[in-house]
Amino acid sequence: MPTRHTPRLVLASASPRRRALLELVGWVFEVVPAAEAEGPPLDGESPVQYARRSAEAKAVAVSREAPDAVVLGADTVVAIDETSLGKPADAADACRMLAALAGRSHWVHTGVSAARAGEVLGSEVASTQVFFRALSSDEIEAYVATGEPLDKAGAYGIQGRGAALVERIEGCYSNVVGLPLSRTRELLIAVDERINAGNGDGQC
Positions marked active-site: 75
The footprint of a second copy on residues 53-112 (CB under 8 A) is: none
DSSP labels, 49-98: HHHHHHHHHHHHHHHHHSTTSEEEEEEEEEEETTEEE-S-SSHHHHHHHH
Helix (H) or strand (E) holding 21: helix 16-25
Beta-carbon contacts of residue 52 (< 8 Å; ≥ 6 apart): 111, 113, 123, 125
Task: Select the residue interacting with a second copy from 68, 119, 151, 167 (CB under 8 A).
Answer: 167
Compare residues 65 and 186 and give the one whose CB is closer to a second copy: 186
Is 189 a binding residue for a second copy by CB under 8 A? The answer is no
Window of 6-14, 74-82, 116-124, 171-179 that interacts with a second copy by CB under 8 A: 171-179
88 neighbors 155 (Cβ within 8 angstroms)? yes
What size, in residues, is the chain?
A: 204
3-state DSSP call for residue 141?
helix
Residue 27, CA distances (Å) to 6, 63, 190 in order: 10, 18, 14
Least distance in angstroms from the C-beta of 191 to a second copy:
18
Window of 9-17, 29-37, 88-96, 155-163 that interacts with a second copy by CB under 8 A: 155-163
3-state DSSP call for residue 114?
strand
Is 6 a binding residue for a second copy by CB under 8 A? The answer is no
Question: What's the rounded Cα separation, in Å, for the pair 156 and 33?
Answer: 22
123 neighbors 55 (Cβ within 8 angstroms)? yes
Task: Select the residue interacting with a second copy from 51, 172, 187, 195 (CB under 8 A).
Answer: 172
Window of 20-28, 42-50, 60-68, 96-104 that interacts with a second copy by CB under 8 A: 20-28
Task: Select the residue interacting with a second copy from 86, 122, 171, 200 (CB under 8 A).
Answer: 171
Is 166 a binding residue for a second copy by CB under 8 A? The answer is yes
Is 140 a binding residue for a second copy by CB under 8 A? The answer is no
By the criterion CB under 8 A, which residues form the site for a second copy?
21, 24-26, 128, 133, 142, 158, 161, 163-164, 166-174, 181-182, 185
